Chains A and B, each alone.
Chain A
Amino acid sequence: ILNVEQSPQSLHVQEGDSTNFTCSFPSSNFYALHWYRWETAKSPEALFVMTLNGDEKKKGRISATLNTKEGYSYLYIKGSQPEDSATYLCAQISGGSNYKLTFGKGTLLTVNP
């Protein structure tokens, strides 16, 4: 993996379904991974900052895991609600001699009532 990639690009689920999506990133020089929730016509809102391999974070019905050795993070939403409809972005920060911040293109989640 050379870039930050998110899959799927978009997802439609029914209210009450649980869902998950993936962020893949280069595992070398890993420093941190950020997850954001971005609603249309608003600004990105931070969900999690993850730094350690094996990290698990939770905020209400949303949780995330991190595997820095294999270069991926999963975001889970339990019991999706229409208000969860948004684009979910991940961003990797890599260190080394040059600090680099790279965003994925996001997963657009639509939750149908």
Chain B
Amino acid sequence: DSGVTQTPKHLITATGQRVTLRCSPRSGDLSVYWYQQSLDQGLQFLIQYYNGEERAKGNILERFSAQQFPDLHSELNLSSLELGDSALYFCASSVGLYQETQYFGPGTRLLVL
């Protein structure tokens, strides 16, 4: 158990809908990272927050957004969902930035029908 929690574990929804994935980092970690793993792709970095501020952006679609709250938990919002958004979404946390070990949560599996 890494200490990073993600809810929900599984989510099934329809195209066009909007969902919110939640991540609670390890106690004391200030950075939160979001990743997407779909069947035909490796692990893709989406976005990183550090102490409430966005610090880096990867291959995140405009339909997706995220935020990190004052208690350091983070939410990833996915809107206008498409079939291709079906994937495993991981959150990871680290104490600081870039050179720190990242601890991954168990992931949220999203299925868009």
Contacts and interface: CB of A to CB of B under 8 A. Distances in A.
Chain A binding surface SS class = strand
Contacts of B107: 43
Interface residues of A, number: 22
Interface string B96-113: 001111111111000000
B7 interface: no
Interface of B: 2, 33, 42-45, 48, 55-56, 58, 90, 92, 98-107
Among B56, B99, B100, chain A packs the most CB atoms within 10 A around the CB of: B99
A99 B101 contact: no
14 contacts: A32-B99, A43-B104, A46-B101, A46-B102, A49-B100, A49-B101, A51-B99, A89-B43, A99-B48, A99-B55, A100-B58, A101-B56, A101-B58, A105-B42
A104 B42 contact: yes
